Amino acid sequence: MNQLSPRAFDGPSEYPYTRADFEAIAHMVHAHAGICMPESKAMLIYSRLTKLLREKGIGSFHDYTALIRTDAAERTRAIEALTTNHTKFFRENHHFEHFEQHLRQPFIERLMKGGKLRMWSSAASSGEEVYSLAMVLLGTDKSQAKRIAESDVALLATDLADHVLRAAETGIYPGNNGADIPARYGQLWTTSGTGGVTVARPVRDLVRFRKLNLLNAWPLKGQFDVIFCRNVMIYFDEPTKERLLDRLADQLVVGGYLYIGHSERFIGPAADKFTSIGQTIYRKDRA
């Protein structure tokens, strides 16, 4: 870090941006969201925050970092702008295939006997992940789907960033986003317009979206049968991942399933409670 001059980030940019500014912002996003932003992300920070400087009429990153030190609302906006929200329908499809082939039927039997099912998409971004899961749960038989929808089933989808949650709640996905939805689900559970696809009501009605920072307290009632926590731990350091996995373990019923992202690993003491039963799929076998 130190071999660069303090003003190495200035370059030809519109707003003065120094190493000290970068370090202050990286420190803040780590402290509040757990997200690690090494020096290789310095220009990413610059490009993601310039819009906020412009909106505020602030002329330098120095002044902006001073602002977000004291203005909690602006700090939240900055952190949200620094999140990476990339996702898509049926991403890492082997998870949805596993759910369909191994979990769906027993869960439906439980629901039809009056039991309950709770699932959580814990870094939901704009909702494609949780809607994919809801579509697989409802399946392709409309009358069975109606019975499932009327049973004691709920999907919770949470994220740190407000803007993605607001987009998710609309159920509207512009452009080509719907192309990743297998036709058998797309035909039943989306409607297409010129601008993209809209997720159908029965799917949307299964899901509640809430703002939740995985680093903070979780105001959750009860445990879950399934948790998706995919492609968020990649941004965290090892102690944060361990702590998160430990808390996720507590939030799962014994016999519940945890799905994590393709480049993530189960680390820390909570791993002893789990059995790896497939690629990045874990079952909690011990309390």
Ligand X SMILES: C[S@@+](CC[C@H](N)C(=O)[O-])C[C@H]1O[C@@H](n2cnc3c(N)ncnc32)[C@H](O)[C@@H]1O
Enzyme catalytic residues: 48, 159
Taking the complex as a whole, how short is the minimal distance between the CB of residue 212 and ligand X, in angstroms?
A: 6
Quick check: 132 binds ligand X (CB under 6 A)? no
Do residues 142 and 187 lie in contact, with contact meaning Cβ atoms separated by under 8 Å? no
Among 18, 65, 231, 251, binds ligand X (CB under 6 A): 231
Query: For ligand X, what does the binding mask look like between residues 194 and 213, x meaning CB under 6 A?
Result: -------------------x
Distances (CA, A) of 254 to 99, 151, 257, 281: 17, 22, 9, 15
- Concatenated DSSP letters of 68-123: HHH-HHHHHHHHHHH------TTTTHHHHHHIIIIIHHHHHHHHHTT-EEEEEETT
Q: d(Cα 125, Cα 83) in Å, to the nearest integer?
A: 10
Among 21, 129, 225, 264, binds ligand X (CB under 6 A): 129
Taking the complex as a whole, how short is the minimal distance between the CB of residue 150 and ligand X, in angstroms?
A: 28
Q: d(Cα 222, Cα 253) in Å, to the nearest integer?
A: 9
Unique residue bearing structure tokens 């797309």: 186
Q: Which residue is nearest to ligand X (CB)?
A: 87
Query: For ligand X, what does the binding mask look like between residues 42 and 61, x meaning CB under 6 A?
Result: --------------------
Taking the complex as a whole, how short is the minimal distance between the CB of residue 143 and ligand X, in angstroms?
A: 31
Per the document, the length of the chain is 287
Among 127, 139, 178, 261, binds ligand X (CB under 6 A): 261
Instruction: Give the three-state DSSP class for 249.
Output: helix
Taking the complex as a whole, how short is the minimal distance between the CB of residue 155 and ligand X, in angstroms?
A: 13
Residue 103 or 214 with smaller CB distance to ligand X: 214
Sign of the CA dihedral 159, 163, 168, 170?
A: positive
Quick check: 123 binds ligand X (CB under 6 A)? yes
Return the residues of window 15-44 that contact ligand X according to CB under 6 A: 33-35
Amino acid symbol at 111: L
Among 199, 214, 258, 270, binds ligand X (CB under 6 A): 214
Residue 53 or 244 with smaller CB distance to ligand X: 244
| Residue burial 19-54, b: 16+ Cβ < 10 Å; e: rest | bebbebbbebbbebbbbebeeebbeebbebbbebbe
Site size for ligand X (CB under 6 A):
24
Q: d(Cα 170, Cα 163) in Å, to the nearest integer?
A: 11
Query: For ligand X, what does the binding mask look like between residues 150 and 179, x meaning CB under 6 A?
Result: ---------xxx--x---------------
Quick check: 91 binds ligand X (CB under 6 A)? yes
Quick check: 230 binds ligand X (CB under 6 A)? yes
Stretch that binds ligand X, among 11-19, 121-129, 268-276, 279-287 (CB under 6 A): 121-129
Residue 182 backbone class (left: φ over 0; alpha: ψ -120 to 50; beta: rest): beta
**How many Cβ atoms are within 10 Å of 93's Cβ, its own excluded?**
13
Q: Which residues bind ligand X (CB under 6 A)?
A: 33-35, 83-87, 91, 123, 125, 129, 159-161, 164, 213-215, 230-232, 235, 261
